[in-house]
A and B are shown apart, each in its own frame.
Chain A
Amino acid sequence: MERAAIPPISSVAVCGGTHGNELTGVYIVREMQKQKLEKVGSVSITPVLTNPKALDVGRRYTEMDLNRCFTDALLSSPITESTPYELRRAQELNAQLGPKGSAEAVDLLIDLHNTTANMGLCLIFYSIDWITLHIYKYLQNKMSSIPVRAIQVAVPASDAYSLESVGKHGFAIEVGPQPNGVLRADIFNMVKEAVELTLAWLQEFNSGHTFEGSTVEAYTLVKSVDYPRDPAGKITAAIHQDLQDNDFKLLRSGDPIFLTFSGETLKYEGEDLYPFFVNECAYYEKKIAFHLAQKKTYTFPSISVKKD
C-alpha cells in the first residue's frame, strides 16, 4: 500500500457522560476540566460532559438515548417544544464540536463509555479510517493491562447515530465490565492511560513521524440475539454461565447461550460468530441479549502528516 499523507490532528474533543451512569468518562473529563487542560503540545483539547441532565440524575438518559441522536436526519430536524432534551443536546453538541461532515468539525472526537459486559477495552468506529486503525494498533502494542480490541459498525455516515460521528475522525472507547453508577479505579486508570497514549500518538503524528503500515483484526457487527420472552414480553431466561463474561470467545452451533428460569439450556444455532455486549444492562430494553460479529483483518498503509 502507498504511504498516505493525512492533515494534522490539531483539535481533539474528549467526551464523557454521554450516558450519565457510565462514570469513567465523567471523571476523566471532570479531571481534565479541573486541571484546565486545554492544550497538549500541538493538540488543543476540549473536554466535554455531554449529558449533564442524565449525569445529575444518575441515569443513562432522561428522555431518549443521546448516543442515538446523531444521524443526519435527527441533527437537522426542527426543534419544537416537545423535542426531547437529548435531541436538543445533540444539536448543541453538533454546533459546538461539528457540524458533522463539515470542515469546521473537530479533528478527532473520542467518546468514553462503560459497559456491564466483559469486553475489556474496545475502540468502536464506523468507517475504516487510517488514523483510527493506527491509534488502535498503537494502544494494542502499548497497553498490557487489558485486552484492546476494535469493533466496526458498518453504517454509512448519514446513518451514523452516535456522537463520535460528529468529528472528522472519531471513535468511542468502551470499557467493561463496570456496573452503572460505579467508578472502579482499575478501569479509570486504564482509560486514563488510553487517552494519554492517544494524545501522545497525536503529538508524534503531528510532528512528522511516519507510522509504519500493518494489519489488525477487528470485529464487525453481523446481528443481535434477544432474550427468549413470554407472550407478555417478559424475559424467561438468563444468559447461560458458559456465555456470561465470555465476550469475543467464538460461539458455535450447539453452545449454550441461555438458561431458562425453569432450568432448560437453550443452545445457539448458526454460523460461528463472536459474541460481544453480552448482558449489557442498557440493551434489555433494546431487545439485545448479545451482539454477534465476524472477525476481519484490515490492512492499513504507512501514514505521516501532510505538510502544506
Chain B
Amino acid sequence: MSHGNINNITARLNAARRVAIFGGTHGNEMSGVTLVNLWMQNSAEIQRRGVEIQPFITNPKAVEKCVRYVDTDLNRAFTQENLSVTGGDELPYEVQRAQEINRMFGPKGSADAYDVIFDLHNTTSNMGCTLILESSKDAFNLQMMNYIKKAFAPASCLVLLNEHPLLKYSTSRSVAKHPVGLEVGPQPQGVLRSNIFEAMRVILKHALDFIELFNEGMEFPACSVEVFRVLERMDYPRDANGNIIAMVHPNLQDCDWEPLNPGDPMFQTFDGKSIHYQGPSTVYPTFINEAAYYEKQQAFVTTRRENLLASAIRKA
C-alpha cells in the first residue's frame, strides 16, 4: 500500500475484503463475548456489501471459565517467537491459540493476512469508548477512526495510540494488516452492562459502514485526528516483597483522559497519605485502575495529546 504525500496526494489503498471481529480475547470481558456469540448465531447486523466479515471467539477456554486467560495472556502472545515455536500440545494454551489464529487470519506480516481485525475489549477503567491504534502511519485506520468519531458524536470516542517501542505489545489483532482495538469501560470483569454493550455495538456499526463506503469508492479527504499517545507505565508503590502499599488516589480514580499536573495527587497510602505526580509536565492518564494490570505492574499509563495527519485515501 502506498502512503502518499499527505498534503496533496490521495493514497490509493486496496479494498478491505476480509474483516474479522474478535471477541473473548479476554474471556471475562463480556461485551465482545456477547456480541460475537450473537453474530455467530445471526450475522445480519454485521453484513456489508463487498466484504466478508467473520465474527470469532479467540479464547474459548477462557470464555468458558469466565477468566481473562488460562495459561498466559492471549493479547500478549502474538510475538514472532510464539508464532514460530514448535511444541504442539505442550505449549501453553494461548500460544497454541495464537498459532491457530495466525494460520486462520494471518500469517502476520504477509500479503495473505486479513485486511482488518476488530478486537473487542472491556476495561474496569473509566475510559468510555476508546479506539486503540498501533501505528501512527496507518492512514486507513486513521481515516476509519476519524469517521467513527464523527459518526458517534456528540458522544465521545477517543483514540489511544500505542506505538511505544517498549510498551507496545503483540495483540491478537496484530495479525491483520489494519488492527483496530475497541476498548469500552468502565465495566467489571464478568459483568454485562447494557449501556456498554450497546455503545460497542454502535461503534462497530460505524466502523463497518466506513469499510463499505471505502470499498464502494468513496474518497476520504485528508484529515487531522486527535490521539493520545502512550508515554509511560506507572506502577503502584510497592514494598520490598512486591505488595502494593498505596491505592490510586480518589482524586485520580475515574479521571481517565483528564490532565494530571505535576504535584497532583496520584496514590494514597492505606493510612491516608497522598503521593504526588512528580513528572516534568502535564500528562493525560488512562487505564486508571484496570483490574488486569495489577499483575502487570501498571496502575495507569500516561499519554500526551497529539494531532496526527492522515492523507486522503481512496480505493485503488
Q: Which residues of A are in contact with B by a Cβ distance under 8 Å? A: 27, 30-31, 58-59, 116, 177-186, 188-189, 192, 234-235, 238-241, 244, 259, 261, 279, 281-282, 284
Partner of B294, one of A116, A181, A186, A235: A181
Indicate whether B37 reaches chain A with its CB closer than 8 angstroms: yes
Partner of B270, one of A186, A188, A244, A281: A188
Indicate whether B291 reaches chain A with its CB closer than 8 angstroms: yes
Partner of A179, one of B67, B188, B192, B250: B188
Task: Render B237-265 as a binary contact track against A, CB cut-off 8 A, 1 for contact.
Answer: 00000011001111001000000000000
Residue of B nearest to A179 (CB): B188
Contact yes or no, A281 B193, CB < 8 A:
no
- B180 CB to nearest chain A CB (Å): 23
Residue of A nearest to B239 (CB): A34
Contact yes or no, A279 B250, CB < 8 A:
no
Contact yes or no, B34 A261, CB < 8 A:
yes
Residue of A nearest to B198 (CB): A259
Contact yes or no, B190 A244, CB < 8 A:
no
Q: For window 3-21 of chain B, which residues contact chain A by CB distance below 8 Å?
A: none
Indicate whether B141 reaches chain A with its CB closer than 8 angstroms: no
Contact yes or no, A184 B193, CB < 8 A:
no
B interface residues, tally (CB under 8 Å): 33
Given contacts A189-B272, A234-B37, A261-B38, contact A184 B289 (CB under 8 A): yes
- A282 CB to nearest chain B CB (Å): 8
Contact yes or no, B248 A185, CB < 8 A:
yes
Task: Render B174-201 as a binary contact track against A, CB cut-off 8 A, 1 for contact.
Answer: 0000000000001111111111010000
Residue of A nearest to B201 (CB): A261
Given contacts A181-B294, A182-B291, contact A240 B249 (CB under 8 A): no
Contact yes or no, A281 B188, CB < 8 A:
yes
- A57 CB to nearest chain B CB (Å): 9
Provide the bound-state CA to CA distance between A116 and B30, in Å: 14
- A230 CB to nearest chain B CB (Å): 9
Contact yes or no, B189 A281, CB < 8 A:
yes
Contact yes or no, B247 A183, CB < 8 A:
yes
Contacting residues, chain B, for A281 (C-beta < 8 A): 188-191
Given contacts A238-B194, A239-B194, contact A186 B189 (CB under 8 A): no
Residue of A nearest to B268 (CB): A185
Contacting residues, chain A, for B67 (C-beta < 8 A): 59
Contact yes or no, B253 A186, CB < 8 A:
yes
- B167 CB to nearest chain A CB (Å): 21
Residue of B nearest to A30 (CB): B243
Contact yes or no, B194 A240, CB < 8 A:
yes
- B55 CB to nearest chain A CB (Å): 14
Partner of B291, one of A181, A239, A259: A181
Name 15 A/B residue pairs within 8 A (Cβ), A-sorted: A30-B243, A31-B270, A116-B191, A179-B186, A179-B291, A182-B124, A182-B289, A184-B247, A185-B268, A186-B250, A234-B37, A238-B34, A238-B192, A239-B193, A261-B38
Indicate whether B308 reaches chain A with its CB closer than 8 angstroms: no
Provide the bound-state CA to CA distance between A71 and B299, in Å: 40
Instruction: Name which of A177, A238, A244 has the most chain B CB atoms within 10 A of its CB.
Output: A238
Instruction: Name which of B195, B270, B295 has the most chain A CB atoms within 10 A of its CB.
Output: B270
Given contacts A181-B292, A189-B250, contact A116 B270 (CB under 8 A): no
Contact yes or no, B268 A244, CB < 8 A:
no
- B193 CB to nearest chain A CB (Å): 6
Contact yes or no, A279 B272, CB < 8 A:
no
Contacting residues, chain B, for A284 (C-beta < 8 A): 66, 190
Contacting residues, chain A, for B38 (C-beta < 8 A): 261
Provide the bound-state CA to CA distance between A188 and B244, in Å: 14
Contacting residues, chain B, for A238 (C-beta < 8 A): 34, 192-194, 197
Contact yes or no, B193 A244, CB < 8 A:
yes
Partner of B192, one of A181, A182, A235: A235
Contacting residues, chain A, for B34 (C-beta < 8 A): 238, 261
Provide the bound-state CA to CA distance between A192 and B272, in Å: 11
